[in-house]
Structure 1
Amino acid sequence: MRFETSTPPDGVDWAAVAAWWDAWGAPIGILIVIVGAFIAFRVVRTIIGRVVGGVVSGVKRRADAADTEALSNSPLAQVRVVQRTRAIGSVLNTMLAWVIAALALILILSILGVNAASLVAMASFLGAAAGIGAQGVIKDFLNGLFMVFEDQVGIGDLVDLGAASGVVESVGIRVTQVRDVEGTLWYVRNGEILRVGNRSQGWARVIIDQAVPYDADVDLVERQLLDVATAMSEEPEWLGRVIDKPETWGIESVSPDAVVLRLVVRTRANARDDVARELRRRVKDGLDELGLDLPSVQKVVGDGLEAKP
Structure 2
Amino acid sequence: MRGLSLQAAPGIDWADVADWWAAWGTPISIVLIVIGAFLAYWIVKVVIGRVVHEVVTGVKRRADVADTEALSHSPLAQVRIVQRTRAMGSVLNTILAWVIAVFAAILVLGALGVNPGSLVALAGFLGAAAGVGAQGVIRDFLNGLFMVFEDQLGIGDVVDLGEASGVVESVGIRVTQVRDVNGTLWYVRNGEIVRVGNKSQGWARVLLDQAVPYDADVDAVEQRLLDVATRMSEEAEWTSRIIDKPETWGIESVSAEAVVLRLVVKTRASAKDDVARELRRRVKAGLDDLGVTLPSLQKVVVQGLDDTAKGRA
> Relative to structure 2, which stretch is displaced further, 99-108 or 243-252?
99-108
Question: In the alignment, which of 36, 49, 71 is matched to residue 75 of structure 1?
Answer: 71
- Aligned ranges 1:254-265 → 2 under 5 Å: 254-265=254-265
> Relative to structure 2, which stretch is displaced further, 201-210 or 140-149?
140-149
Task: Check 1:115–1:167 CA distance in 2 against 1; reply closer, same or farther (3 A cut).
Answer: closer
Q: Deviations over 1:96-124 (max 9, x none)?
A: 32563476478669xx58474x5554333
* Rg larger in structure: 1
- Aligned ranges 1:112-261 → 2 under 5 Å: 114=115, 116=117, 120-261=120-261
C-alpha distance in structure 2 between counterparts of 1:105 and 1:140, whole Å? 28
Question: In the alignment, which of 71, 84, 89 is matched to residue 86 of structure 1?
Answer: 89
Task: Tell whether the 8 Å contact from 1:179 to 1:185 is kept in structure 2 after alignment.
Answer: yes
Percent of aligned positions that are identical: 60
Task: Tell whether the 8 Å contact from 1:45 to 1:93 is kept in structure 2 after alignment.
Answer: no
- CA offset at residue 253 of structure 1? 1.0
> Relative to structure 2, which stretch is displaced further, 178-187 or 262-271?
178-187
Task: Tell whether the 8 Å contact from 1:49 to 1:89 is kept in structure 2 after alignment.
Answer: no
C-alpha distance in structure 1 between counterparts of 2:30 and 2:174, whole Å? 31
Aligned to 1:285: 285
Task: Check 1:33–1:130 CA distance in 2 against 1; reply closer, same or farther (3 A cut).
Answer: same
- CA offset at residue 152 of structure 1? 2.0
> Relative to structure 2, which stretch is displaced further, 139-148 or 231-240?
139-148
* Runs of at least 5 residues in structure 2 that lack an aligned partner in the other structure: 1-20, 73-78
C-alpha distance in structure 1 between counterparts of 2:150 and 2:99, whole Å? 20
Task: Tell whether the 8 Å contact from 1:140 to 1:191 is kept in structure 2 after alignment.
Answer: yes
- CA offset at residue 235 of structure 1? 0.6
Alpha-carbon RMSD: 3.6
- CA offset at residue 34 of structure 1? 9.7
Task: Check 1:211–1:205 CA distance in 2 against 1; reply closer, same or farther (3 A cut).
Answer: same
Aligned to 1:20: none
Q: TM-score, normalised by structure 1?
A: 0.76
Task: Check 1:40–1:166 CA distance in 2 against 1; reply closer, same or farther (3 A cut).
Answer: closer
Task: Tell whether the 8 Å contact from 2:88 to 2:149 is kept in structure 1 after alignment.
Answer: no
Q: Deviations over 1:172-212 (max 9, x none)?
A: 22222222222222222222222111111111110000111
Q: Deviations over 1:199-232 (max 9, x none)?
A: 1111111000011122222221111110000000
Aligned to 2:296: 296
> Aligned AA for 1:91?
T
> Relative to structure 2, which stretch is displaced further, 78-87 or 33-42?
33-42
C-alpha distance in structure 2 between counterparts of 1:235 and 1:183, whole Å? 33
- Aligned ranges 1:262-281 → 2 under 5 Å: 262-281=262-281
> Aligned AA for 1:73?
E
C-alpha distance in structure 1 between counterparts of 2:176 and 2:44, whole Å? 27
C-alpha distance in structure 1 between counterparts of 2:123 and 2:295, whole Å? 72
C-alpha distance in structure 2 between counterparts of 1:71 and 1:149, whole Å? 25
- CA offset at residue 131 of structure 1? 2.7
Aligned to 2:17: none
The answer on 1:59 being equivalent to 2:48 is no
Aligned length: 285
Q: Deviations over 1:34-59 (max 9, x none)?
A: 97998699668746743552342242
- CA offset at residue 141 of structure 1? 2.4
SS at structure 1 position matched to 2:129: helix
> Aligned AA for 2:232?
M
SS at structure 2 position matched to 1:298: coil
SS at structure 2 position matched to 1:176: strand
- CA offset at residue 300 of structure 1? 2.5
Task: Check 1:49–1:88 CA distance in 2 against 1; reply closer, same or farther (3 A cut).
Answer: farther
C-alpha distance in structure 1 between counterparts of 2:106 and 2:134, whole Å? 22
Question: In the alignment, which of 79, 100, 103 is matched to residue 100 of structure 1?
Answer: 103
Task: Check 1:178–1:32 CA distance in 2 against 1; reply closer, same or farther (3 A cut).
Answer: closer
- Aligned ranges 1:9-48 → 2 under 5 Å: 46=43
- CA offset at residue 281 of structure 1? 0.7
C-alpha distance in structure 1 between counterparts of 2:114 and 2:51, whole Å? 44
Q: TM-score, normalised by structure 2?
A: 0.75
Task: Tell whether the 8 Å contact from 1:253 to 1:301 is kept in structure 2 after alignment.
Answer: no
SS at structure 1 position matched to 2:298: helix
> Relative to structure 2, which stretch is displaced further, 194-203 or 85-94?
85-94
C-alpha distance in structure 1 between counterparts of 2:261 and 2:114, whole Å? 81
C-alpha distance in structure 2 between counterparts of 1:165 and 1:41, whole Å? 36
Q: Deviations over 1:1-29 (max 9, x none)?
A: xxxxxxxxxxxxxxxxxxxxxxx99x999
